[in-house]
């Protein structure tokens, strides 16, 4: 395997977030925006006068098809390195796995695992996921190429990267490798320990949705509950205001004519709203906006917190008596689209499909086509709103979500359902059976219901942070962090210390 390794000398590239904003895509753009904000802050803090503070970038030559020994095609996979805290060659290696997006230099400079590295004398490496960011194989994103995109391929990359980087940095054979990851990458971290326990000593899996599910209606169940939570600024009135705002949107859509035209302008919908499928795109994007306020509540870079959203919907301030929930929702749309640099909240369904069919890699690094392919062939994760408890419109429905798999990739609903079942069979769903894995979740995060929130044994532990949002434990520390978050991070560090002591003991017995 060829390895390229050079110092990072450029500035952080902030990606443009223009483009189609299907419901799932909006959530992912929010996540990308928050990640970039936090990475930019991390780099601002990490770039001191000494060159040793600079993260470094390297490239690994990886096999396109690691499961076929006769196929020698390869691609370059990007990784980042922070070696300023590495105390010795037999010190621990913290491997931060990338997920369904670009991975920047800030991934090894701030937040965990970087925050944990000084006390542990660890080398921190982050590995960008194949087919995302700049780790896209030559040849584009057509179906012939995308068949090499899966969690299993990503885990094979982890194995080969682990072996290649050990040689490159002359890592001792007794050094414990500990994986970290958040969201989908958190699942990868847990699965890396599950499938390759001889190479990965332990894993911290944050907000990891290890159970694949076709119809993810539970997402909006958690959103509804969180909107009522006083601990994060929600209330029964706020939950009712959300329903009222969506009812008003639906009323104007049904009315048509001037009311519909005004709605289109006020809520930044690009294209006509005359088609039912385009109305569903708008309603889905609005749901994603509210869901995003819950999912990323209280995080640096998030356009809206639950407290702020509720304030808008309930008309806080002097004009409360004249305000309406719809006006508050309209203001929320303006804030989010401005923060993301988007001119539109939603596009026509036809434009969304056309964009997803494009086989050219996206400059933005968000990877909409790639992630849709993974949901169609492995995970599902389709957020729906079809039961009476859902505070939104009764859209989107599952058939319209599955229809994207068929329109874009020619994959039938039956094949998607079978793929979800196979994923759970292969990894074990919410009972994966891996030891030395710590699952970390926040109970505000809608994704925690697909993760492991209770210990499954003495060595498969779980931590549920009250009022914690998606991957909040991975974010850089802030003075405003809640006591429960601070306690959660201390518990993660204590678990890490326990593992490292265990590794030391194993070294003496020659087991690592």
Catalytic residue set: 183, 445, 470
Q: Is residue 93 a contact partner of residue 126, using CB atoms and an 8 Å limit?
A: no
CA separation for the pair 175, 199 (Å, rounded): 10
Other CB atoms within 10 Å distance of the CB of residue 249: 23
Could you list the beta-strand ranges (E) of 155-220. Answer: 177-182, 202-206, 213-215
Q: Which of the 8 DSSP states describes residue 457?
A: B
Q: Is residue 349 a contact partner of residue 277, using CB atoms and an 8 Å limit?
A: yes
Task: Pick the closest to residue 37 from 287, 303, 309, 392 (CA basis).
Answer: 303
CA angle 50, 53, 57 (to 5 degrees): 125
**Lookup: tokens for 422:** 């196979």
**Looking at the DSSP assignment, which residues form a beta bridge with residue 442?**
465
Contact partners, residue 81, CB within 8 Å, separation at least 6: 5, 55, 56, 57, 58, 108, 123, 124, 125
Say how many residues make up the chain: 512
CA separation for the pair 163, 77 (Å, rounded): 14
CA separation for the pair 476, 61 (Å, rounded): 31
**Looking at the DSSP assignment, which residues form a beta bridge with residue 78?**
59
**Is 236 in a helix, a strand, or coil?**
helix
For the chain, the distance separating the N- and C-terminal CA atoms, rounded to the nearest angstrom, is 24
CA separation for the pair 114, 122 (Å, rounded): 9
- Report CA-CA distances (Å) from 49 to 52, 117, 429: 9, 20, 47
3-state secondary structure 111-146: CCCHHHHHHHCCEEEEECCCCCCCCCCCCCCCHHHH
CA separation for the pair 324, 241 (Å, rounded): 8
Contact partners, residue 505, CB within 8 Å, separation at least 6: none
CA separation for the pair 472, 107 (Å, rounded): 14
Reported as half-sphere exposure (CB side, CA atoms, 13 A), residue 325 has a value of 16
CA separation for the pair 93, 123 (Å, rounded): 5
**Lookup: tokens for 225:** 């509950």
CA separation for the pair 282, 22 (Å, rounded): 8
Q: Is residue 306 a contact partner of residue 226, using CB atoms and an 8 Å limit?
A: yes
Helix (H) or strand (E) segment spanning residue 401: helix 398-409
């Amino acid at each position: 395997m060829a390895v390229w390794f050079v110092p990072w000398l450029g500035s952080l590239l902030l990606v443009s977030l223009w483009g189609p904003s299907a419901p799932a895509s909006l959530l992912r753009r929010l996540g990308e925006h928050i990640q970039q904000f936090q990475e930019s802050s991390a780099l601002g803090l990490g770039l001191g006068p000494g060159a040793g503070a600079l993260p470094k970038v390297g490239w690994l030559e990886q096999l396109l098809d690691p499961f076929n020994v006769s196929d020698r095609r390869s691609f370059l996979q990007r990784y980042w390195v922070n070696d300023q805290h590495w105390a010795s060659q037999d010190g621990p290696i913290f491997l931060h796995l990338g997920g369904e997006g670009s991975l920047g230099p800030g991934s090894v400079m701030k937040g965990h695992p970087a925050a944990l590295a000084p006390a542990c004398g660890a080398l921190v490496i982050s590995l960008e996921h194949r087919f995302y960011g700049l780790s896209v194989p030559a040849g584009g994103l057509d179906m012939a190429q995308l068949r090499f995109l899966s969690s299993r391929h990503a885990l094979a990359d982890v194995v080969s990267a682990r072996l290649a980087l050990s040689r490159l940095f002359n890592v001792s054979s007794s050094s414990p490798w500990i994986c970290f990851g958040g969201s989908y990458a958190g699942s990868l971290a847990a699965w890396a320990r599950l499938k390759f326990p001889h190479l990965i000593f332990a894993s911290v899996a944050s907000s990891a949705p290890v159970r694949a599910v076709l119809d993810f209606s539970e997402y909006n169940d958690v959103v509804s509950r969180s909107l009522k939570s006083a601990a994060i600024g929600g209330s029964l009135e706020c939950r009712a205001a959300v329903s009222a705002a969506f009812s008003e949107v639906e009323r104007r859509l049904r009315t048509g004519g001037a009311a519909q035209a005004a709605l289109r302008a006020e809520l930044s919908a690009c294209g006509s709203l005359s088609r039912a499928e385009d109305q569903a795109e708008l309603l889905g994007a609005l749901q994603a906006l509210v869901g995003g306020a819950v999912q990323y509540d209280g995080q640096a870079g998030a356009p809206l917190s639950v407290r702020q959203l509720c304030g808008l919907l309930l008309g806080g301030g002097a004009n409360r008596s004249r305000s309406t929930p719809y006006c508050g929702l309209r203001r929320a749309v303006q804030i989010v689209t401005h923060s993301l640099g988007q001119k539109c909240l939603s596009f026509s369904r036809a434009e969304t499909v056309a964009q997803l069919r494009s086989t050219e890699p996206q400059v933005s690094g968000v990877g909409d086509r790639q992630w849709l392919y993974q949901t169609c062939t492995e995970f599902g994760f389709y957020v729906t709103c079809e039961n009476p408890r859902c505070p939104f419109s009764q859209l989107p429905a599952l058939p319209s979500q599955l229809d994207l798999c068929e329109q874009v990739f020619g994959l039938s609903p039956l094949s998607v359902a079978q793929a979800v079942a196979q994923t759970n069979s292969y990894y074990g769903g919410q009972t994966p059976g891996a030891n030395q894995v710590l699952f970390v979740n926040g109970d505000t995060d809608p994704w925690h219901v697909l993760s492991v929130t209770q210990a499954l044994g003495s060595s498969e532990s779980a931590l549920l942070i009250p009022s914690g949002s998606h991957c909040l434990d991975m974010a850089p520390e802030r003075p405003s962090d809640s006591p429960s978050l601070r306690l959660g991070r201390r518990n993660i560090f204590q678990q890490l210390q326990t593992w490292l002591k265990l590794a030391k003991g194993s070294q003496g017995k020659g087991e690592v």
